[in-house]
Structures are given as structure tokens and as C-alpha cells.
């Protein structure tokens, strides 16, 4: 395999998890940004949330052209992709393995991450989130591909990076754009009667309201809480800094 392990920074993990937990009705996906070092360890510093070309609920991929455009259009290096498996097993499907193999043709160090969420054991009333990392290799028999495991470690990153923050707040924008595109396509149908148009307008309103209450609202609350928490942490750290400076002077 071209990659020995993946080190995913915790703030990048946070954005992936936010994205994966945003909906249980369909799979979501994004790209992993970072670099591969000389020990063939892929370091993922941030992620980018993507709009999907294929909006089927159980299929998520972007075309190689779209991927290449994303890869070349950005100053940072794309080292992998991630997607979610809501209510289903964390292991990649044969389509996922084939998609990964296709991406590896462009970059053999490209890795795939899958986040399985909304798994609930009704008997034990325990919820679960799983994440895995993989690459694809040609199967020994036949022309199919098979999965190979890549060790993944989430490494600490005390603060949230700028790119991660920007990616996190991109989600409501993307969802809104997707909904506006769907509505525009429907509204442009000239033959629709007024009642149907009003109905469609209500559907649009309802969908946008769902996005605002389920995504924008909780996201805004989390950001505001983070500002407050950071204020407290900064105040405590400031006190500790003064104390340590005094201690250092005494030791000198």
C-alpha cells in the first residue's frame, strides 16, 4: 500500500463528524486536505464539505473531473475523501471500493474514510459512531478490487483551525444552495398551475425552515458557546501565565 497510516487532526475529525451527523436520510461526503510525509503517513489537517453530483440517497461520489477540479483549484493538497454511512455498517461497499480505486489511479496515496453513524442498539439503548480508513487493491482473482485496512489515529489539536471553521459553517450554505437549485428547477416548469406552485413554495419554505432549525440553529449555538468557553479558558490561562512567570523569576 502507498500509505502506512493516517493521522487525522481532531478539529478535522470534528468537521467530518458534524457533517456526518447532519442527516440520517442520505450519505454526505467531503475531501480531506493535508500532506503525506516521508514515512508515508498521511496527515489530514482539514476537510472540505462537497455538494454531490449524484444525489441518490445510497450513493455518494463525485466525478473524477470534479475531484480533479477540486484538487487543482485549491492551494492545499487533497489527500483523501470521506463519506458517511447513516444506519449502515462502516465497511465500504463494492461501489465505495471501486470509487476509491478510481481515485487512487490519480494519486496512489489517496485514502478513503467512512463515518458510520445513527447506529443504535434498541436492546441495549446504546448509540454508536464508527469510523474507518481504507485503500483499494486489485483482488488476486478476477478484475475486482478489494479493501485494505489503513491504521487511522485522531491526533490532538487543542484549537480549531481556520480552514476547519470555514468548512463547518459552509454546510448550511451548501444545503441552502442545493434546495434553491431544486426549487428553481421545479419553479421553472411553465405548465404548473398556481396551486401547485404555492404548494412547491411551501415545500421550499418548510425544507429551508428544517435546515435552519436542525443545522443553522444548533451550529450557531455551538459557535456562541465556543466563544464563551474560549473567553473563560483565556482568562484562566492568563492567570496561569502570570503565576508561571513569577515562579520562573523565583527559580532564577
Partner 1 sequence: MAELNTTAHVSGYVLASLMFHHFNRNSDVEGFLVGGIKTVAKNSITDSQMDGVQVEYTIDIQKHIPCSTVHSFYNYVEINKEVLKKLLSCHKEQNVIGWYRQRRNTEQVMTFRERLIHQNLQKCLSNQELVFLLMTSSAITESSSTHSLEYAMYKLQGSCFHKVPVLVTNLGIVDQQDYHASSIACSSVGYTRVVKKLRSKYFNTDGSLKEVCRINEMSSALQEELKETCGKVEESERSLEKLLDEVNKLRKTVKEKKKLCMQTLEEKKCKKPKTDENVLLCQALQKLFPETKTLQTQTISLEGAPLPAYTCSADHGIDISEVLPLLLADKEENCESDTERQLEQSGSETEEDLLDPLKIQMASSHSPTF
| Binders of partner 1 in range 75-104 (CB under 8 A) | 86, 90
Instruction: Name residues contacting partner 1, limited to 118-147 (CB under 8 A).
Output: 118, 120, 122, 124-134
Kindly state whether residue 35 participates in binding partner 1, applying the rule CB under 8 A: no
* Residue (141 or 251) nearer to partner 1, CB: 251
User: CB-wise, 71 or 82, nearer to partner 1?
Assistant: 82
* Element of type H or E holding 46: strand 41-49
One symbol per residue from 9 to 28: x for binding partner 1 (CB under 8 A), - otherwise; what is it?
-xx-xx--xx-xxxxxxx--
Q: Please return the burial class of 9, using the count of CB atoms within 10 Å of its CB with bins 0-12, 13-18 and 19+.
A: buried
Quick count: other Cβ atoms within 10 Å of Cβ 237? Answer: 10
Collapsed DSSP state (helix, strand, coil) of residue 101:
helix
Segment holding 81, helix H or strand E: strand 77-86
Are 153 and 7 in contact, with CB atoms under 8 Å apart?
Answer: yes
The C-alpha atoms of residue 174 and residue 116 are separated, in whole angstroms, by: 22
Residue 33 engages partner 1 in binding (rule: CB under 8 A) = no
Query: How many residues contact partner 1, by CB under 8 A?
Result: 110
Q: Is 227 helix (H, G, I), strand (E, B) or coil?
A: helix
Binding residues among 145-164 for partner 1 as defined by CB under 8 A: 149-162
Task: Give the integer Cα–Cα distance in Å for 11 and 154.
Answer: 9
Q: Which is nearer to partner 1, 124 or 143 (CB)?
A: 124
CB nearer to partner 1: pick between 33 and 168: 168
Specify the residue, 71 or 114, whose C-beta has the smaller distance to partner 1: 114
Residues 176-205 that bind partner 1 (CB under 8 A): 176, 180, 182-183, 186-187, 189, 191-205
Interface stretch with partner 1, choices 59-67, 75-83, 138-146, 175-183 (CB under 8 A): 175-183
Return the biggest CA–CA distance within the chain: 85
Q: What is the DSSP letter of 92?
A: P
> Cα separation of 90 and 145, whole Å?
18
Residue 4 near partner 1 by CB under 8 A: no
Binding of residue 47 to partner 1 (CB under 8 A): no
Give 141 or 234: the residue with its C-beta nearer to partner 1: 234
d(CA 132, CA 144): 21
Nearer to partner 1, 68 or 157 (CB): 157
Q: Over the Cα atoms of the chain, what is R_g?
A: 22
* Contacting partner 1 within 201-240 (CB under 8 A): 201-212, 214-216, 218-231, 233-234, 236-238, 240
Residue located via cell numbers 471500493? 97
Binding flag, residue 2, partner 1 (CB under 8 A)? no
Minimum distance between the CB of residue 206 and partner 1, rounded to whole angstroms? 7
For position 58 contacting partner 1 by CB under 8 A, the verdict is no
Amino acid at each position: 500500500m502507498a500509505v502506512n497510516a493516517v493521522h487525522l487532526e481532531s478539529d478535522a475529525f470534528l468537521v467530518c463528524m458534524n457533517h456526518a451527523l447532519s442527516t440520517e436520510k442520505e450519505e454526505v461526503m467531503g475531501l480531506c486536505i493535508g500532506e503525506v510525509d516521508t514515512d508515508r503517513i498521511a496527515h489530514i489537517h482539514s476537510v472540505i464539505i462537497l455538494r454531490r453530483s449524484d444525489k441518490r440517497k445510497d450513493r455518494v461520489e463525485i466525478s473524477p473531473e470534479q475531484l480533479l477540479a477540486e484538487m487543482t483549484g485549491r492551494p492545499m493538497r487533497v489527500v483523501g475523501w470521506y463519506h458517511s454511512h447513516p444506519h449502515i455498517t462502516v465497511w465500504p461497499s463494492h461501489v465505495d471500493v471501486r470509487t476509491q480505486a478510481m481515485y487512487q489511479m490519480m494519486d496512489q496515496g489517496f485514502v478513503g474514510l467512512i463515518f458510520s453513524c445513527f447506529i443504535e442498539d434498541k436492546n441495549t439503548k446504546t448509540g454508536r459512531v464508527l469510523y474507518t480508513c481504507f485503500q483499494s487493491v486489485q483482488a488476486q482473482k478476477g478484475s475486482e478490487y478489494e479493501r485494505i485496512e489503513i491504521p487511522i489515529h485522531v491526533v490532538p489539536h487543542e484549537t480549531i483551525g481556520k480552514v476547519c471553521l470555514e468548512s463547518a459553517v459552509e454546510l448550511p450554505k451548501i444545503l441552502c444552495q442545493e434546495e434553491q437549485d431544486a426549487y428553481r428547477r421545479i419553479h421553472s416548469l411553465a405548465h404548473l398551475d398556481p396551486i401547485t406552485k404555492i404548494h412547491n413554495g411551501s415545500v421550499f419554505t418548510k425544507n429551508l425552515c428544517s435546515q435552519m432549525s436542525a443545522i443553522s440553529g444548533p451550529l450557531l449555538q455551538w459557535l456562541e458557546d465556543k466563544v464563551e468557553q474560549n473567553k473563560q479558558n483565556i482568562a484562566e490561562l492568563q492567570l496561569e501565565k502570570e503565576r508561571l512567570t513569577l515562579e520562573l523569576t523565583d527559580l532564577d
